[in-house]
A and B are shown apart, each in its own frame.
Chain A
Amino acid sequence: MKDVKVLGPGCKRCVATAEMVQHEADKLGIAVAVEKVTDYAAIARYGIAATPGIVIDGKVVHAGGLPKPEDVAAWLAA
């Protein structure tokens, strides 16, 4: 089970990012637990400057803007 956190205050892009992660994981058959982190202090502690951000198993893989689906798949499979 991969632990995925989507960092963002809950704007449209953040919701879309979380959905994309779940969708790509389902396609690859990877079990994930997606959690949305909306608290500003909690987001800041990951050291990112732009949202949405994606953290997989404690490692920040993306910050700022809607990621590309193929990149999300690559991060999940890594």
Chain B
Amino acid sequence: MSIASPDQHPGALRSAAPRIAAVAAALVLWAALYASLQPASEWIVAQLPLDPKSPLGQAIAFFLYDTPKVLMLLTLVVFAMGVVRSFFSPERTRALLAGRREGLGNVAAAGLGVFTPFCSCSAVPLFVGFVSAGVPLGVTFSFLIAAPMVNEVALGLLLALLGWQVALAYLGFGLLIAIVAGAVIGRLHLEGWLEPWVRELRTAPADVAAPDLTVADRIDAGTEAVRDIVGRVWPWVIAGIAVGAGIHGWVPQDLLASIMGRDAWWSVPAAVAIGIPMYSNAAGIVPVVEALLGKGAALGTTLAFMMSVIALSAPELVILRKVLTVRLIAVFVGVVGLGILAVGFLFNAMFG
């Protein structure tokens, strides 16, 4: 095989055109398929020897319609995010944030946290890499909170399933929690609560040549993201829709309205307390959220539940224990938990 220099892509222009054509064709096919989901699922349910008004009939109808719908939306969202994320990298983000003052730095870090790609096993190297290169602790936390909290998969699915108001509120309040929580942790000056080896480490950032990406490369990044993420989370999605279908079919209307409704003030802290130790993929939780809202659960309570499931999870805390002392983890969970609590109450008050 021939070895092309990484900064020269002689075939770049030639290979971009067929890819763009393929993406356009896929989008048309996607739209046609999506438009026929509702009639197709109704037809299938009508063929079943079931009363469509019965709990089982309703659960099956929800499942048959939602499974292809959510998986198709997920594919679209993940592809778009894969392309957008090819413009960002942890190295570039760190260079942007290093030496930033708290305040504006927290805002920038939270925003970058949404778009910077990194796999979950990179969380510790990323944390250490940021702190040791001079990114302030509070700014690093803003990044680290925003990255899982404002999950692009959750955002895309909320937008598609529940409308732009809910998606925008989730985005806005997720960023706000990341900014404020990071700023609070920064103000507390808890650098001494890092594990000692992290505190003592000072390294110069490695000078890695950023690869020159072509349009074709970015489209490939989107396709790769679909293969990787959709390939990994689809069982979560189906499990989530199955739970949602169960809620849809069997949970009575008034039960949830009284437990998770707006008048039950204690439901917000209860939702957060239940959500923190729970772990689900963001893609799995959104169908559950959709079903809960359909049964009269209050928006703030439901969002608080979702945020605490996604943003704080036991496996993540175990990984972070390698760099943070138990005291600092407790502060982290406490500050983020309080933020989610505030969002829950605020939402219930706003959308009544």
Partner-B contacts on A (CB < 8 A): 7-11, 13-14, 27, 40-41, 43-51, 53, 60-65, 70-71, 73-74, 77
Contact = CB atoms under 8 A, between A and B. Distances in A.
Nearest to B217: A68
B323 interface: yes
B91 interface: yes
A10 to B, nearest CB: 8
B124 interface: yes
28 contacts: A9-B124, A9-B125, A11-B119, A11-B121, A13-B119, A14-B121, A40-B323, A41-B197, A41-B201, A43-B128, A44-B125, A44-B129, A44-B132, A44-B201, A49-B94, A49-B126, A49-B129, A49-B133, A49-B205, A50-B118, A50-B129, A60-B206, A60-B207, A62-B208, A64-B117, A64-B122, A73-B3, A77-B3
Which applies to chain B's interface (DSSP): helix, strand, loop or mixed? loop
A11 to B, nearest CB: 4
| Category for how many chain B residues contact A | 35 or more
Contact of A71 (B122, B132, B211): B211
Contact of B89 (A10, A47, A64, A77): A64
A48 B125 contact: yes
A43 B3 CA distance: 29
Contacts of B173: none
B204 interface: yes
Contact of B206 (A13, A48, A65, A73): A48
Given A48-B206, A71-B211, A8 B117 contact: no
